[in-house]
A and B are shown apart, each in its own frame.
Chain A
Amino acid sequence: MVSSPDLEFFIDPNRCIGCQSCVAACSECDTHRGLSMIHLEYVRRPISVQTIPVICMHCDSPTCAEVCPADAIKRTGDGVVQTARKPRCIACNNCVLACPFGVPKMQAEFSLMMKCDMCYDRSSVGLKPMCASVCPSGALYYGTSEEIERLRPRSRPIHAFRFGDQVITTRVHMMVPRKSSSSQLDVTAAWSDEAVNPTDMLENLYEEAAG
């Protein structure tokens, strides 16, 4: 059985509250019970509580699989990129280094690359993945495109990401402001100093408050 083609995964970092429910619930999934595959990062805690949950984006043409010398990483017919096949994985870390989103994790204990597989035990039988089930902010959402269109009038999904000259398309969608004209997220541009180190917007806020 494969996951329903109608059900899609949507990430909206703007909603994320950093609670780590997704991290906690990820380790309850039966395909990697006891281990969490989600990364949840503060963007820059000294100046903001903004956090970003990172699950596997399930690339249409997964770099992790392309760089695997052992052909251990498989993408299912319904577009879900799986944890490395245990008999094949040689724990070389190529995928860990190559993934543009930083998703795969090398589990040294098992000499195995493991990663988010969209809770294949659940999603393949029509259940929501654990993280998107529990997320209390809706930053991680699993549902149909019609639902997201109806529920999120302020934003819209895109699934193309630019890294320098390369554009990667993914099965997982990222929500961007509905008014924005861009059809792809320029990830490398987001690494610029200005993007990562905005001036302290809060300085003025407290100017009068400090008295």
Chain B
Amino acid sequence: MAELPRREDELAAVFGPHLNRMEGLRLDTGVTPDRIVDTHCCFCGQQCGIRLKVKDNTVVGFEPRYDFPFNRGMLCPKGVKRYLQGAHPDRLVRAQVRDPSANGGFRSVPYDEAIRRTASEIQRIQSTYGADAMGVLSGASLTTEKTYLMGKFARVCLKTRYIDYNGRLCMVSAGAANKKAFGIDRAANPWEDILGAEVIVIAGSNTAECSPITTSYVWQARENGGKLIVVDPRITPIARTADVFLPVRPGRDVILFNGLLNLMIENDWLDHDFIENHTVGFDAVAEHVKQWTPARTAEATGIAEKSIRRAAELWGTAKTSFLMHARGIEHHTHGVENCLSTINVVLASGRIGRPNCGYGTVVGQGNGQGGREHGQKAEQLPGWRDIGNPEHREYIAGVWGVRPEEIPQAGVDCYEMFRKIDAGEIRGLLAICFNPKVSLPDNAFVTRALEKLEFFVAIDFFLSETAQHADVVLPGSLHEEDEGTVTQVEGRVIKINKAVDPPGEARQDWRIIGDLASALGRPHGMIYESPRQIFEELRVASRGGVADYSGITYERIEAENGVFWPCPSEDHPGTPRLFESGSYNPVARGNGPYYFPDGKARFVVAAYRPPAEDVDAEYPVILTTGRVVSQFLSGTQTRRIGPLVDQYPEPRVEMHPRLAAKHGISDGGWAKVESRRGSMTLRAEVVTTIRPDTVFVPYHWAGRDSVNQLTIAAQDPVSKIPEYKVCAVRVSPAAAPAGRSGLPIALPVHGSAGSEAFLVRTGSPKERFPDPPQRG
């Protein structure tokens, strides 16, 4: 049974989230660190370099890592306060088993006992229902070594086809589109190429909040004369000063980019030589986009036609450019088409594979890139190999020391796994680095599925909302308690270094997997001495694949500040910029720079389909979701860090004054947001920086504060990404939830003076400042 053992508030009283703040050693300026460890931030895909100060096996602070070239000391507030996740009162330092009679619903048990019990339950489930009755959920915040290991563990040790990961909510639309168009799934350029771009297009990326360091590249490009075009339903901080802002109606991105391509064709803003020599499929796409005339595009996207024309001219006539996109265009039931439509305008311009000419998705998770390459995806084997391809299976079987037929075939995406749990096909689950109860859409369904599991084991460092449903929780490791590699936004493989030892009986995740394999009596290929040993095996496993890491070593990463894959041999310099002529390409083998046998990139027709749930009379408002700068993903870590919670303590619903006035909702007052799946009550933030037909709620919170109670579980048919960015809701004014103040409040808007914030938001300038003195 995987129902919650106690009420949510009773669980929270023991396991948090509680807030960790600077105190003790962390506040003492007299402390001399025992050592300072060069590593990277544990949060987003920017993977900023950071130096952690360690005293008495505790990370007590940080120093900027000025010498790491990507961020040169810069950090966002999450990076600054990341160290407060360690030495945390909520930290799981012993194994826990479900016990409704225990305070908090869990009882500590010796680690070995928890491992034995887990192994025996897995054996029982698999002997009763078959190997595929066990599922594995993994995550893209793990090091690449661990992601490789999880894929191998599922296929070789558990022998189940059912493994998938939380990158399914993140990277997969871009990945699928990149594979279709380029044959390779990686940002095509190092971020340096942004600096020299004449035109930068940012589509569906709240860059300033979700990938803050990228801001510095964009601003520097503008100092150099670059123009900025931003596509977003909200005026985010990166959009505020854009040269052209395109406030797209959520769900219509593909129309916009098809409309832009149509204008490029009409005005002959095309690179004919490039299209002729390096691509196939242009004519079909050109024919398809004819229907998206400027007027029709404007009407469908809700963007002024003159803005569309201005954007097309800027893009069409530029000599250099960089186009980047993120979840804003990817989280759709046509997320793959959205991405393909942006790639089409890039290919038509011919501006790729050269200095200052770039394209890429801005990865979200810490190892969003490396975590999607080496086999924890349902359909994938290491090196971006295809689990359905007999040659690929044979190669990996050789590396793993198994027969090819022993490797299971493709499983299903993580949401489909929950449907299989609901249907009784999957009876047992092992989860690591994934909090689906908060992060998956329509999470009431996810909760019901979790409750149906016969056995659920979670490996976690805090008791996440999902782990609260577990029968056994194995205490895993924090980022700073292990070493390994990750691959950041540019495709640069970098090294995470260990700063402290795991506390108590907590241990590194790869050791836990090894212990479990031993207890199962299936230790073959599962026992490692170190992450380095896993990495050495991964190098071999990736050799000859598209994501080839075989030339990368820990030593090279340290010496070169990271190595860009593909890197097929130790004397190969790595590949910072893809698609340059003559660059390494194991697929085209000299026929051209793109990863297809003919070496040519693909134009792919990107047809518009409406969102799965469009607005109607009953639910007339579009709900779109996203992030805030001070929180990360499902908040398991960041909702436990005091200063980050202070900065943005709870979700608010952003809406335009016109929409608010229509419903009598006031700034700072309570509003109810309802969809066909659920409702939530939260404070409104009434601002003109959002489309009047759209409301926005960030998704980092759990329980009644989780916007994923409302979102829809519709998925892209190819990538299986959920449609987080569009569903239909209605809004109304609401009474305060029980225990909350009913008065409108000044929402906290900054980290310093609270009363001033109130005045800035609500008082007139005359009240705030006296009349200026008269000048004579």
Measured CB to CB, the residues of A under 8 A from B are 14-21, 23-25, 27-28, 30, 33-34, 36, 38-51, 105, 128, 130, 133-138, 151-155, 164-165, 188-189, 191-193, 196-197, 200, 202-211
Dominant secondary structure at the B interface: loop
Give chain A residues whose Cβ lies under 8 Å from the Cβ of B73.
128, 133-134
| A210-B302 in contact (CB<8A) | yes
Beyond contacts A151-B220, A197-B765: 4 other A-B pairs, Cβ-Cβ < 8 A, are: A23-B647, A24-B81, A39-B756, A210-B692
A-B pairs, top 5 by smallest CB distance, nearest first, are A17-B208, A23-B751, A17-B237, A188-B772, A24-B77
CB distance from B629 to the nearest CB of A (A): 5
Which of these, A36, A51, A164, A197, contacts B773 with CB under 8 Å?
A164
Give chain B residues whose Cβ lies under 8 Å from the Cβ of A51.
237, 750
| B219-A138 in contact (CB<8A) | yes
| Distance between Cα atoms of A42 and B762 in the complex (Å) | 12
Measured CB to CB, the residues of B under 8 A from A are 22, 27-29, 61-62, 64, 66, 71, 73-77, 79-81, 208-209, 212-213, 215-216, 219-220, 222-224, 235-238, 240-241, 245, 247, 249, 298-299, 302-305, 629-630, 643, 647, 656-658, 667, 685-689, 691-693, 749-753, 756-757, 760-761, 765-766, 769, 772-773, 775
Which of these, B66, B74, B692, B775, contacts A135 with CB under 8 Å?
B74
Tally of A-B Cβ pairs under 8 angstroms? 201
A137 and B62 in contact (CB under 8 A), knowing A40-B750, A42-B760, A46-B657? Answer: no
Give chain A residues whose Cβ lies under 8 Å from the Cβ of B305.
208
| Distance between Cα atoms of A139 and B79 in the complex (Å) | 18
| B223-A206 in contact (CB<8A) | no
A–B pairs, 19, beta carbons within 8 Å: A17-B212, A17-B238, A20-B77, A20-B629, A20-B647, A20-B750, A25-B80, A41-B757, A46-B686, A128-B64, A128-B73, A134-B64, A135-B74, A136-B75, A137-B215, A204-B304, A209-B302, A209-B303, A210-B692
CB distance from B590 to the nearest CB of A (A): 41
Give chain B residues whose Cβ lies under 8 Å from the Cβ of A24.
77, 80-81, 643, 647, 751
Give chain A residues whose Cβ lies under 8 Å from the Cβ of B686.
46
Most chain A Cβ neighbours within 10 Å, of B61, B77, B241, B756:
B77
| A137-B212 in contact (CB<8A) | yes
| A164-B772 in contact (CB<8A) | yes
Give chain B residues whose Cβ lies under 8 Å from the Cβ of A45.
685, 687, 749, 760-761
CB distance from A103 to the nearest CB of B (A): 11
| A206-B247 in contact (CB<8A) | yes
| Distance between Cα atoms of A41 and B28 in the complex (Å) | 29
Which of these, B223, B689, B749, contacts A152 with CB under 8 Å?
B223
| A134-B687 in contact (CB<8A) | no
CB distance from B454 to the nearest CB of A (A): 44
| A209-B77 in contact (CB<8A) | no
| Distance between Cα atoms of A209 and B656 in the complex (Å) | 12
| A136-B687 in contact (CB<8A) | no
A153 and B240 in contact (CB under 8 A), knowing A133-B73, A133-B74, A209-B249? Answer: no
| B689-A48 in contact (CB<8A) | yes
| A193-B765 in contact (CB<8A) | yes
Give chain A residues whose Cβ lies under 8 Å from the Cβ of B766.
193
| B22-A34 in contact (CB<8A) | yes
| Distance between Cα atoms of A33 and B60 in the complex (Å) | 12
| B760-A27 in contact (CB<8A) | no
| Distance between Cα atoms of A54 and B699 in the complex (Å) | 30
| A49-B657 in contact (CB<8A) | no
CB distance from A113 to the nearest CB of B (A): 15
| Distance between Cα atoms of A48 and B245 in the complex (Å) | 14
| A15-B219 in contact (CB<8A) | yes
| Distance between Cα atoms of A128 and B66 in the complex (Å) | 10
CB distance from B83 to the nearest CB of A (A): 9
| Distance between Cα atoms of A40 and B748 in the complex (Å) | 12
| Distance between Cα atoms of A47 and B278 in the complex (Å) | 46
A202, closest chain B residue (CB): B688
CB distance from A87 to the nearest CB of B (A): 19
Most chain B Cβ neighbours within 10 Å, of A151, A152, A192, A208:
A208
Give chain A residues whose Cβ lies under 8 Å from the Cβ of B761.
42, 44-46
| A23-B750 in contact (CB<8A) | yes
B234, closest chain A residue (CB): A49
A202 and B235 in contact (CB under 8 A), knowing A17-B212, A40-B750, A211-B302? Answer: yes
Give chain B residues whose Cβ lies under 8 Å from the Cβ of A50.
240
CB distance from A25 to the nearest CB of B (A): 5
| A41-B208 in contact (CB<8A) | no
| A42-B752 in contact (CB<8A) | no
| A196-B765 in contact (CB<8A) | yes
| B208-A134 in contact (CB<8A) | no
A47 and B688 in contact (CB under 8 A), knowing A23-B751, A27-B643? Answer: yes
A211 and B299 in contact (CB under 8 A), knowing A19-B76, A19-B77, A205-B304? Answer: yes
| B80-A28 in contact (CB<8A) | yes
| Distance between Cα atoms of A45 and B234 in the complex (Å) | 13
B206, closest chain A residue (CB): A17
| A28-B220 in contact (CB<8A) | no
Most chain B Cβ neighbours within 10 Å, of A18, A19, A39:
A19
